[in-house]
């Protein structure tokens, strides 16, 4: 029997961790939930390779053992050869470095210093790998066939990813979506247009539900005359609340707290 335990903040994350440890596909395993998790407990699952998929993974396990033993032997031979070369190379490197140090004081200019400092900024991750190419490769690695729509307007670059079973990528409460979105934002850098990423329609649905929540809450605040504190949200989600009520003359909004527990308060305009 080939099995592995997974622990995570929710059941989906626990399953994902167990699959990663076992290097298995979700359709090839049986899942047993040991602990569903809660406020102070993490979820725990046990996944076991199904009987019909067992031969494939037993074969893989055997191959990996053979490969690892051969690799160890090769590594030992390589280490011996490297040690022999190190003694010979070290002396020549010392002589070369002495010569370079003598020449460097003669030829170093202010322009050389400026170029050496600025070059790392010119080769940031966001410019080396385009976000579209990254997402395409990312979903291929996950074995997902997706369609990526990439459009731009004056302010934003809109990237929409659609495909089957996007729910397991998005996560129970959008944890997967927000992690990918954060990575995309970092890769994009500050010099490019801001990217609005949507995976499986999650962003659009979430924006709509938050807008409706904001309006319902504003009505309650206007009727009762008392402020209401919403649950903690991401910066993007809080922005939706603020935008939805920006033109509402009855209420005003304010973000309070520290990340990742920062939240929005909606209170009557008279209390401003």
pLDDT at residue 48 greater than cutoff 60: yes
Neighbour tally for 158: CB within 10 Å: 15
Q: Are residues 73 and 11 in the same domain?
A: no
pTM for the whole structure: 0.47
Q: Are residues 212 and 189 in the same domain?
A: no
Q: Are residues 38 and 12 in the same domain?
A: yes
Q: Are residues 22 and 44 in the same domain?
A: yes
Residue 41: its pLDDT value, please?
73
Average pLDDT rounded to a whole number, residues 229-233: 91
What domain range includes position 255? 204-271
Peptide bond preceding 260: is omega within 30 degrees of 0, i.e. cis? Answer: yes
Q: Are residues 195 and 209 in the same domain?
A: no
**What is the β-pairing status of strands 3-8 and 43-49?**
antiparallel
Binned at pLDDT 50, 70 and 90, residue 39 comes out as low
In a domain, 118, yes or no: no
pLDDT at residue 161 greater than cutoff 90: yes
More confident residue, 81 or 45: 45
**Number of separate domains in the chain:** 4
C-alpha to C-alpha distance for 153 and 176, rounded to whole angstroms: 26
Tens of pLDDT along 249-269? 999 999 999 888 899 999 998
C-alpha to C-alpha distance for 176 and 138, rounded to whole angstroms: 13
15: which DSSP letter? H
More confident residue, 65 or 197: 197
In a domain, 114, yes or no: no
Full DSSP string of 154-185: SSEEEEEEEETTTHHHH-TTSHHHHHHHHHHH
Q: Are residues 213 and 196 in the same domain?
A: no
Burial 224-243 (b: 16+ CB within 10 A, else e): eeebeebeebbebbbebbee
């Amino acid at each position: 029997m080939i099995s592995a335990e997974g622990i995570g903040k929710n059941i989906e994350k626990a399953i994902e961790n167990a699959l990663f440890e076992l290097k298995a596909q979700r359709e090839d395993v049986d899942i047993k939930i040991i602990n569903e998790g809660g406020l102070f407990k993490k979820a725990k699952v046990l996944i076991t390779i199904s009987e019909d998929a067992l031969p494939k993974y037993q074969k893989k396990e055997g191959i990996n053992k053979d490969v690892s033993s051969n690799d160890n032997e090769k590594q030992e031979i390589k280490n011996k050869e490297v040690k022999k070369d190190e003694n010979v190379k070290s002396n020549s490197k010392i002589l070369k470095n002495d010569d370079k140090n003598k020449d460097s004081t003669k030829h170093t200019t202010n322009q050389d210093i400026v170029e050496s400092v600025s070059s790392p900024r010119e080769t940031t991750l966001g410019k080396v790998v385009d976000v579209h190419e990254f997402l395409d490769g990312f979903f291929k690695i996950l074995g997902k066939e997706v369609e990526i729509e990439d459009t731009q307007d004056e302010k934003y670059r809109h990237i929409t990813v659609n495909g089957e079973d996007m729910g397991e990528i998005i996560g129970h409460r959008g944890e997967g979506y927000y992690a990918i979105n954060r990575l995309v934002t970092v890769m994009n850098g500050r010099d490019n247009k801001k990217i609005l990423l949507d995976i499986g329609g999650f962003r659009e649905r979430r924006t709509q539900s938050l807008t409706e929540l904001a309006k319902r809450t504003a009505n309650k605040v206007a009727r009762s005359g008392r402020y209401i504190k919403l649950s903690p949200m991401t910066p993007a989600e809080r922005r939706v609340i603020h935008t939805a009520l920006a033109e509402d003359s009855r209420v005003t909004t304010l973000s309070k707290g520290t990340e990742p527990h920062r939240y929005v308060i909606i209170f009557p305009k008279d209390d401003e």
